[in-house]
Amino acid sequence: MFDYSARPELLKDRVILVTGAGRSIGAAAAKTFAAHGATVLLLGKTEANLSQVYDEIEAAGHPQPVVIPFNLETALPHQYDELAAMIETEFGHLDGLLHNASIIGPRTPLEQLSGENFMRVMQVNVNAMFMLTSTLLPLLKLSSDASVVFTSSSVGRKGRAYWGAYGVSKFATEGLMQTLADEVENVAPVRSNSINPGATRTSMRAQAYPGENPLNNPTPEEIMPVYLYLMGPDSTGINGQAFDAQ
């Protein structure tokens, strides 16, 4: 496991947006960031899930989060602009962006993967991630120390059979992370890095490996040290790097 111990007030006064914040790793990250002092913007498509995370953060006495129902599969350009305008009006800037939301799609040979399924995965995992990044970058540049964290995968670092659209989308994720990192290097107070969570006890993992005993994998909460490290000031100057949570 990534070795890092975060001080309690690590993210005090930071505003951090988390996509896919309603469950699994996204929910764990949102609650962990809030527990370390951040105001977390909970973005996801299922409002009931987001509200539950909101209630847990509130009940724990952490800074009041914001629920943002947003469907990355169907969102139009003007909706991204409206999201950025809302964040600017409410907070004036953005200190962190965790790209966590993604879908796995069918795990089949490329030959049997429909164009429709391929494009759906790319829409959520790549196109929407690009739209969020480009639209929110001006707000991140207004921070004195901003961090963009992309969620990758081992199949986005070395291609593997039957991972098709998902694997390709994670290669694109690494490419977007590296491109952004090179553009902001020594130009803006923004850093860009990726995390490969590894085998984690999530519903997506269970979908991909139905025969596996989930108890052999760490919970989302257990892989949070690297997320805290990259979102906090201790990683200032770390840019363009691919991290493993485990």
Amino acid identity of 117? N
Q: How many CA atoms lie within 13 A of 26 on its CB side?
A: 29
**Residue positions annotated with a catalytic role:** 166
Is pTM beyond 0.95? Reply is yes
pLDDT band at 214 (very low <50, low <70, confident <90, very high): confident
* pLDDT tens readout for residues 67-88: 999 999 999 999 999 999 999 9
CA distance readout (Å), 80 to 68, 130, 157, 202: 12, 11, 29, 28
* pLDDT tens readout for residues 32-72: 999 999 999 999 999 999 999 999 999 999 999 999 999 99
Helix axis angle, 47-59 relative to 24-35, nearest 10°? 30
For strands 15-19 and 242-244, give the pairing.
unpaired
How far is the C-alpha of 230 from the C-alpha of 192, rounded, in Å? Answer: 9
What pLDDT was estimated at residue 232?
Answer: 98
Residue 211 predicted with pLDDT over 90: no
Look up residue 171 and give its two tokens.
Answer: 């290669």
Mean pLDDT of 208-237: 92
Can you name the residues that pair with 192 across neighbouring β-strands?
Answer: 148
Mean pLDDT of 207-228: 89
What pLDDT was estimated at residue 193?
Answer: 98
How far is the C-alpha of 120 from the C-alpha of 101, rounded, in Å? Answer: 13
**Sheet harboring 146-151: ordered strands across?**
66-69, 39-44, 15-19, 96-99, 146-151, 190-196, 242-244
How far is the C-alpha of 43 from the C-alpha of 124, rounded, in Å? Answer: 13
What pLDDT was estimated at residue 207?
Answer: 82
Residue 103 predicted with pLDDT over 90: yes
Residue 8 predicted with pLDDT over 90: yes
Residue 200 predicted with pLDDT over 90: no
The per-residue pLDDT of the chain, averaged, comes to 96
Judging by beta carbons within 10 Å of its beta carbon (0-12, 13-18, 19+), is residue 158 exposed, middle or buried? Answer: exposed
What pLDDT was estimated at residue 216?
Answer: 85
